[in-house]
A and B are shown apart, each in its own frame.
Chain A
Amino acid sequence: MNGVETWIAAILTICVFSFLYRDNPLYRFAEHLFVGSAAGYLLAVQYQNVIKPNVVERIASGNMLAFIPLAMGLLVLGRLWEKTTPISRWAIAFYVGIYSGIAIPSYLQAQVFAQLADAVKPFEPGWHAINSVLILLGFLSVVAYFFFSAPHKGVHGAAARVGIWFLMIAFGASFGYTVMARASLLIDRVLFLLRDALHVLPAI
C-alpha cells in the first residue's frame, strides 16, 4: 500500500476502535462506509465472475442454452412478490436437489464412514494406545449423551455424564483457540498501525 492508502486504512481502523470508548459518529461513518463498499465490491465481482462469463458472453456467442439457467435464476426473484412466490420454489427445488446430490454422498463418505472407521480401528502400539482409548471413550460416551431415546439412568446415565466431561473439555479447548483468534486480529491491527502507518517498527 502507498502512503495515502495506508493512512486511509489507519484512520478507518482508529474510527472503528473508537467504539471501544463509546458509540460515536466516526465509528458509524466507518461502519456504513464498509457496508457500502463491500456490497459494491461484491456486486462488481459477482457480475464479472458469474453473470458475464456464464450468461452475457455465452448468449453473445450464440449459446442459447444459457437462457435456461438465466430463466431459473430469474424465477428465484419471484419471492419478491407474494403472488409469484410459488414459481420461485421450482428453481429452489432444482438447486436443493442438485446440492443434496452433491453434498450427501461426500458428507457420508468423508465425515461419517471415515470417522467411524477411525474410531474403531485397532489401538496403536506403545503410549499412543492411550490416545486411542481416549478417542474411543470420548466417542462412545458423547454418543451416549446424545442418545435421547432412553432415559439417562444407570450405565447409560453414567456414560452420558462422562460424555458431558468430554464435551466440556472440547468446548474449553475450542474457547481457548477462539480467544487466541480474536487476540490475533487485534495484534494484526496494532502491528499495522505501529509498522505501516507510524513506521515505529521495521518493515517486513
Chain B
Amino acid sequence: MGLDRRIIFALIFLATGLPLLFPVNLPITPSPRVRAAFDTVDRQPPGTYVLMSLDYEPDIKAELQPMAIAVLRHCFRKGLKPIVLTLYPAAPGLIERALVIAGTAEGKKRNEDYVFLGYKSGSQSVILGLGESIRQMFPNDFWGTPLDKIPMMKGKNSFADFPLVINLSGSSIADYYIRIAATRYQRPMVLGATAVMATDYYPYLSSKQILGLIGGMKGAAEYEKLMDITGDARRGMDAQSLIHVTIAILVLLGNLALFLTGGFRPGGSGGSREGTGR
C-alpha cells in the first residue's frame, strides 16, 4: 500500500509512449453518435455554406484540434464552404493551423473555399448577433479583409444563410449554440465536445436539438476512420487503450491490496487514507 506514486506515473508514461512508438492499430468502430455527425455533414450538397465555431484553446487542443481537422477535411472533400470563427482569444493560431493542414490536404484556398473570421469577444452576445448580422460582429476576416470584399461572403449574413452549424467546443459555449442557433433559430447543428463534456450533451441528441455528437479524442478518431484518414486522434488511440488497461489494473490491484489488508472492514488496519506526500 506504500507504493511510490512516481512508479504509477512511470507506468502511465510507458503506456503512453510505447504504443506511439510501436503502434498496433487496434480496431476503431464508429459509434452511432459520431456516424450521425458524419452523415449530417455528408448529406449536405456541394456548395452548401457551413458556419463553424471552433471554440478551444491549447489546453484542450489534444481532443478538439484533430476533430477540427477531420471535420474541415470532410467539408472540403464534399465541396462545402466553411465560414469559421472562434469565441476564444487564444484559439486563432490553432484554427489557422487546422485550416492550413485541412486546406492543403484537400487543395482548398482561403477566401475562395473557406473564410476565417477570427476571434470576437462576448460569447453569448456574439452568437445572438450572428442571428442578425455577421458583418456587425465581424466586419473583417482574421487577416483584416472587409467581408464585403470577399466574394464568397456575398449574401451570407446570418444563421438563416447557413443550412448547418458546427460547434466544436470545450466549454459552455456549446450550451449557448444549442440555445440560440439550434433552438431559437432552428438551425441543424452538429456538436463536437471534449470527453469530459460529452455525457452532458447526450440528452440533446435524444431531443434532436443536435444531430450528431463527436466526443473527445475517441470521437475524433472515429470521425477520422469514417473519413479514411489517419490523424493525431487515430494515432493516439492505441495509447489511450493501454493507459485505460493500466489504470484498470492499478485500480484492481489497489482494491485487492486494501481487501487483503483488511481495509474494507470498519476500523480495518489496511491502507492509509492519507497520501505519502510524494
Binding site for B on A (CB under 8 A): 20-22, 38, 41-42, 45-46, 49-50, 99, 102-103, 106-107, 109-111, 114-115, 117-118, 135, 170, 173-174, 177-181, 183-191, 194, 200-201, 204
Q: Which residue of A lies closest to B183 (CB)?
A: A110
Q: CB distance B12 to A186 under 8 Å?
A: yes
Known: A49-B121, A183-B243, A200-B21. A109 touches B184 (CB 8 A): yes
List chain B residues, Cβ under 8 A from A42.
89-90
Beyond A117-B207, A184-B216, list 13 extra A-B contacts (CB 8 Å).
A41-B89, A106-B180, A110-B182, A177-B199, A180-B240, A181-B216, A183-B239, A183-B240, A184-B217, A185-B59, A187-B217, A187-B236, A204-B101
CA–CA, A115 and B179, complex, Å = 12
Instruction: Give 15 pairs: A residue, B residue, CB < 8 Å, sorted on A.
Output: A38-B90, A106-B180, A110-B175, A110-B178, A115-B203, A177-B196, A183-B240, A184-B63, A184-B216, A184-B236, A187-B62, A187-B240, A191-B20, A191-B232, A201-B20
Contact yes or no, A107 B217, CB < 8 A: no
Which of A111, A191, A200 touches B236 (beta carbons < 8 Å)? A191
CB distance from B214 to the nearest CB of A (A): 13
How far is A38 from B247 in the complex, measured between Cα atoms in Å? 33
Cβ contact within 8 Å between B195 and A181: yes
Given A49-B89, A111-B179, A190-B17, A185–B62 Cβ distance below 8 Å? yes
Question: CB of B235 within 8 A of chain A?
Answer: yes
The answer to whether A174 and B16 touch across the interface, beta carbons within 8 angstroms, is no
Partner of A179, one of B16, B90, B128, B244: B244
Find chain A residues with CB under 8 A from B125 CB.
Answer: 102
- Measured CB to CB, the residues of B under 8 A from A are 6, 9, 12-13, 16-17, 20-21, 59-63, 89-90, 101, 119-121, 124-125, 128, 175, 178-180, 182-184, 194-196, 198-200, 203, 206-209, 215-218, 231-232, 235-236, 239-240, 243-244, 247, 278
Q: Within the complex, which residue of B183, B199, B208, B231 is in contact with A173, where a contact is CB–CB below 8 Å? A: B199
Separation of A56 and B36 alpha carbons in the complex (Å): 46
The secondary-structure label for the interface of chain A is: helix
Report the minimal beta-carbon distance from A112 to chain B, rounded to whole angstroms: 11
Report the separation of the CA atoms of residues A186 and B19 in the bound assembly, to the nearest whole angstrom. 13
- Shortest beta-carbon distance from A10 to chain B in Å: 14
The 3 closest A-B pairs by CB, nearest first: A188-B62, A118-B207, A110-B183
Nearest chain A CB to B96 CB, angstrom units: 13
Instruction: Give min CB distance, B165 to chain A, whole Å.
Output: 14
Interface centre among A20, A22, A50 (most CB of B within 10 A): A20
Q: Is the pair B62, A180 in contact by a Cβ cutoff of 8 Å?
A: no
**B195 and A49 contacting across the interface, CB-CB below 8 Å:** no
Residues from chain A with a CB closer than 8 A to the CB of B232 are: 188, 191, 204
Q: Are B20 and A49 in contact (CB under 8 A)?
A: no
A contact residues around B124 at 8 Å (CB): 99, 102-103
Which chain A positions have C-beta within 8 A of B20?
Answer: 187, 190-191, 194, 201
Complexed CA–CA distance, A114 and B206 (Å) = 10
The reply to whether A177 and B216 form a contact with Cβ atoms under 8 Å apart is: yes
Residues of B within 8 Å of A117, CB to CB, are 207
A177 touches B215 (CB 8 A): yes
A49 touches B236 (CB 8 A): no
In the bound complex, CA of A43 to CA of B10 (Å): 38
Q: Which residue of A lies closest to B128 (CB)?
A: A102
Query: Which B residues are in CB contact (< 8 Å) with A106?
Result: 179-180, 183-184
